[in-house]
Amino acid sequence: MKVICIHSAKGGVGKTTTALSIASILAEQDANALMLDLDPQAAATKHLAAETSTEYDWDKTIRQVLIGEVPFEETLIHPWPNLSFCPSQLRLQNIEKDLADETNPVFVIHDLLDTIREDYDFCIIDTAPNIGLLTKAALAASHQVVIPCLTEKWPIESLEISIEAIEKISSAQKYLSTKIESVRILPTFFEERRQLTEAFYFALKQGYSKYLSETVIHRSVDIGKTYGQALGRLEHSMRAKDEYMHLVDEILGGK
């Protein structure tokens, strides 16, 4: 099982949209996919589960799994064919206190996924916009990291925080069976023919060329409409669908 972490230290950059799009495309390609929502804001959960699924139970989320109250398999819902989804809840924000007695809490996601590696082809992890315990745990469990980034000042400046955290976690992975093999910075909400956008994109290329994805996700009304609807999925007629499919091709090609 390949584990793909969608991470950003800055919110509002299209992180959950990217996670959902990758999960949807992999499932459409007949991969057996798993998605974990590790963000207490639970945007992915609200899209895939909270208001639409009879399978969803607030007492059976990733939080209960991590504190040992519920078996992982009992939390899973199946919003799309070939996709299993483990939901989140707001109380997940207190997980650092809940795991205070754990010897190595940063390895909790790795250890969880170790028990099911033979069951799935891919695991996509949506993380909170920070470098807290669960984000570090997600990174430690991952083979690939995608960092959505607006071509704007503050999102670009936050990249330094993310790259530093990834480098530290990569060092810690020497004790684990997983290694971060690639990191991709994914430009999102890109607007062509805007001088400021072009200037910030140039800054990305100058400062982070070895991480910069070949794919660019353009600003699109289709994205907002699609993910504004419960269980919405990008359609093949949409430019955004083609762009995210290109990103998945990058991931599968290991570029």
Out of 41-50, 189-198, 205-214, least confident range = 189-198
Q: Which residues of 84-121 are buried (b: 16+ CB within 10 A; e: fewer)?
A: bbbbbbeebbebeebbeeeeebbbbbbebbeeeeeebe
How far apart CA 86 and CA 44 sit, in angstroms, is 10
How far apart CA 166 and CA 31 sit, in angstroms, is 27
Contact 15, 217 (CB under 8 A): no
The CA-based angle 120-123-127, given to 5 degrees, is: 160
How far apart CA 118 and CA 122 sit, in angstroms, is 10
Rg of the chain over all Cα atoms, to the nearest angstrom:
17
Mean pLDDT for the stretch of residues 64-79? 95
Q: Which residues of 205-227 are buried (b: 16+ CB within 10 A; e: fewer)?
A: eeebeebbbebbbebbeebeebb
Contact 13, 148 (CB under 8 A): yes
Provide the residue type at 206 as one letter.
Answer: Q
Residue range 103-156, pLDDT digits in tens = 899 999 999 999 999 999 999 999 999 999 999 999 999 999 999 998 888 888
Residue range 3-60, pLDDT digits in tens = 999 999 999 999 999 999 999 999 999 999 999 999 999 999 999 986 666 777 889 9
Residue range 81-110, pLDDT digits in tens = 999 999 999 999 999 999 988 889 999 999
Q: Is the pLDDT of residue 255 over 50?
A: no
User: Which helix (H) or strand (E) segment is 37 a member of?
Assistant: strand 33-38
DSSP letters spanning 184-210: EEEEESB-TT-HHHHHHHHHHHHHHTT
Domain that holds residue 39: 2-253
**Residue spans of beta strands (DSSP E) within 90-192:** 122-127, 144-150, 182-188
The domain total for the chain is 1
Residue range 157-169, pLDDT digits in tens = 899 999 999 999 9
Query: Max CA-CA distance within the chain?
Result: 53
How far apart CA 34 and CA 120 sit, in angstroms, is 7
State the pLDDT confidence band at 203, using cuts at 50, 70 and 90: confident
